[in-house]
Structures are given as C-alpha cells and as structure tokens.
Amino acid sequence: MTTLFFDIGNVLVTFDFSKAMQRLSRDCPHPPEALEPLLRPLITAMEDGRLSDAEFISQARTRIDYRASDDAFAAAYCDIFEENRPMINRVARLADHTPLYLLSNTSGLHLDHLRAAYPVFSHFRGGAFSHLSASSKPDPKIYQDLISLSGCDPARTLYFDDAPANTAAGARHGLHVFTYDWKNHAAFEAELTRLGLA
C-alpha cells in the first residue's frame, strides 16, 4: 500500500454526544435527553455543508433556548471526544513512511477543535470532509473528492472506517478497506502486519 485513508470518529478519537448534551442542558430549559433530537436536523445540515458553523450555532441556540454565549455553546458542543491512544500511537509511526489522509463526516466546528486539541492531526496531509464536499459518506462524491485530492492509486490505498456501509462504499471505488473496531485494535494491528505496514 502507498496511501492510507482514515475516518476520524471511533477511529482516531472516540466520541459521545451525550457529554455535550449534558453541558448544553445547564444553560437551557431542556433536559439532556431532549437536546439531540432537537439539534439533529441542524447537525446534519452543518455536516453536509448546508449550514455554516455560525449559522448552526445561531439556529441551535434559538431552537433550544440556550442562554449562554456563542463561545460557551461551541465549547460544550465540541466536548465529546477522547483520544484512541493505540491508534494515535500507530499513526505517529505510520506517518514516517506512508502518506496519510482523512475521510470524515464532520463539521468545521469539530474539525477545528480536533486539530487544535490533538497533535495527531498534524500527521495527515489533508482530507475530504463532508461539510466541504457537501457530501457525506457513503455518498460517492466525498470518496471521489479524496481520491482526486490525494492523487492516490485506489488499488494501492487502504481505507479504515468504523462503519461497514462506509467501507463498502470505499471498496466500490477500488480502495482496499478494513472496518475498524476501536474495542479490538489488535485486529487492526494484525491487518497492518499482514500488509507489511506494521
């Protein structure tokens, strides 16, 4: 393999939206369990590039009657991630000899936070992101965008994602794929060994 594509969520970092909902509920009249259903249409629109980060924050604050500042909302909304340390350690070693790219359904709000908070993202040469591609996995366009951006040969590219539907879509674009389970990182290491990448 000459190129590696990585998903972000539940690959490089784990995430739990309920943490953000707990924080947001402190400054609005809704209980945490009510917030994600209220916000989900706006989150999807932002991640698909149909709302800017600023538009999302403004509309979300209105929808949930949020009383604190924009900055407080953004900080709470981004408080969902934790490092997947075994993967982060492996990425640091892979970056020494292999071009790495990101392929993720995400927003600018989360991507900016991740890049600022986690040094592992400095190892990646770029990526295709749903809010910029206006296309979310498993839609073909986001895969095509990254293949074009990276200049990779799909037949010599390995793509890791935690969602089977997304790896299946990658395979349809000629990529070698591996469906990753962060609770079984050893299987990923075994795959790298099999491919001579460990």
Q: What pLDDT, in 10s, does the model give residues 109-127?
A: 999 999 999 999 999 999 9
Domain ranges of the chain: 3-14+82-194, 17-77
Residue 128 neighbours by CB distance under 10 Å: 23
pLDDT for position 21: 97
197 falls in which pLDDT band (50, 70, 90)? confident
Q: Prior bond to 138 cis, omega within 30?
A: yes
pTM of the model: 0.94
Query: 10 Å Cβ neighbour count for 158?
Result: 20
| Interatomic CA distance for residues 61 and 67, integer angstroms | 8
DSSP-H helix ranges across 4-128: 17-25, 32-47, 53-64, 70-77, 85-94, 108-117
Percentage of the chain beyond pLDDT 70 is: 99
> Does the pLDDT of residue 198 top 90, yes or no?
no
End-to-end CA distance of the chain: 12
pLDDT beyond 70 at 44: yes
Residue 108 and residue 53 in contact, taking contact as beta carbons nearer than 8 Å = yes
- List the structure tokens of 36: 């994600």
pLDDT given at position 2: 86
The Cα–Cα gap between 150 and 107 comes to 20
Q: Flag whether pLDDT at 107 surpasses 70.
A: yes
| Strand 13-15 to 81-83 pairing | antiparallel
Average pLDDT on 2-6 reads 95
CATH architecture, range 17-77: Orthogonal Bundle (1.10)
Parallel/antiparallel/unpaired status of strands 127-129 and 13-15: unpaired
Considering the domain delimited by 3-14+82-194, tell me its CATH architecture. 3-Layer(aba) Sandwich (3.40)
3-state class percentages of the chain: helix first, strand second, coil last, to nearest 5: 55, 15, 30
